[in-house]
Amino acid sequence: MLFSIKPVLVSLGLAVALTCADSSSRKASSNSTQWSDFTFPGITSKPPHSPEVLHKRNYFYVGGQYTPESSGGKQEIMTGQIYVEQLIPAGGPCKKYPLVFLHGAGQTGTNWLNTPDGRMGWASYFLREGYEVFILDQPQRGRSIWELSQGKPLYVSPLETEEQFTAPQHFKYWPQAVFHTQWPGTGLRGDPVFDQFYASQVESQKNMARRCCHGIISSLTLTKTMASILTRNAGAALLNKIGPAILITHSEGGQLGWGIADAVPSKLAGLFALEPGGPPFKDAEGLKYLNSTARGWGLTDIPIGYDPPVATASDIKSVEVPPPAENLTSCYRQVQPAKRLANLAKIPMAMATSQASYHAPYDYCTFEYLKQGGVDVTYFNLTAIGILGNGHLSFLEKNNLAIAKVLADWFKTIEGS
């Protein structure tokens, strides 16, 4: 890679230098030293044990532009830049492509570092596998600067978090929710793991998201506002700096990731979308579609490339297709002959959906839309491959490393190994 840094060597918990050649040693040593083996003077309660991998760390900002301050004065500020954390295996990366992680709504890049009950997160898993890892905070989220004049804070409540993410089996708002078993702890307010997770949740700009309510459930989905544009621009700037890379997206980040991929397809060796924001053209809750239109460009709220080209979203004609089985939504696809997703079709892609997630009824629609648009996409229905009980936040749940291995095995197919 051409990107030069002077990184800091760090380790949180487990301090083991690892190499790609010693896979069995990596796996055996990953739980050999834990927080419980250390004492902390003056601290009566120890933090959760969090096995980590020795690595070098750097951070930087990318993207953004100088704009007049919101008060109308003569001063300028920079907006649209993103915070990026760069993690490198202590012995150096030994995989062909670095990984870029893009989080979802209400989250920051801390999602990928470890779990709320202190287990190994995906960042350490892939560092252990020899990957260089880049973790970003979306524009106007976390450590990426806010432009306060552009909207008021919007939060997801503890109840909404329980309903949709950590304890959907208690609410049963979609048929598959009853299968949820993998969240560590009760998933309810007052449980220490839930409280730790909810403490990490952050606000979104109100004009960058909308709250769409139907019945009891409330969810966040993006509108055609600056969120998609800022993330596309900053994400493209990052990939132009470090690419080619493999992009891993989750939820809201999935919808934003299509825009990044469309902007710089030559900088992506692959894209793995974990329950990406969807489905095409409309928002769904449970087995029902809302009346409002979303993602007018099929996958996104902003223009992406089609072949033959389209001038406006209204040029993309869609048709509703009945579901192939019970407990699934119908899907909206292009009217035949379908237009090709001109830039996305240049990138190998994969998707994964959990058994008990609120995405379970409709994620297949996004897969079918990509396939119809000429994308080489692999669909991992985790239920079908024997990974059971997960909700929408599978990368934080008890079997998170089993799911990480699904990604790692797919990465090998595009790395030629």
Q: Which of 30, 144, 219, 251 is catalytic?
A: 251
Q: In 3D, which of 227, 222, 236, 318 has the Cα closest to residue 278?
A: 222
* Residue matched to tokens 């490198």: 88
How many angstroms separate the first and last alpha carbons of the chain? Answer: 19
Q: In 3D, which of 112, 172, 147, 66 has the Cα closest to residue 407?
A: 112
191-203 burial: b if 16+ Cβ within 10 Å, else e: bebbebbbeebbb
Beta bridge partners of 271: 247, 349
> Is the pLDDT reported for residue 295 higher than 60?
yes
Any idea which of 97-106, 200-209, 216-225 has the lowest mean pLDDT? 216-225
The C-alpha angle with vertex 357 and arms to 120 and 184, in degrees rounded to 5, equals: 35
pLDDT at res. 30: 39
Q: Greater confidence, 305 or 75?
A: 305
- Give per-residue pLDDT as tens, 83-95: 999 999 999 999 9
Beta bridge partners of 82: 62
Our answer to whether residue 228 is catalytic in this structure is no
> Is the pLDDT reported for residue 16 higher than 90?
no
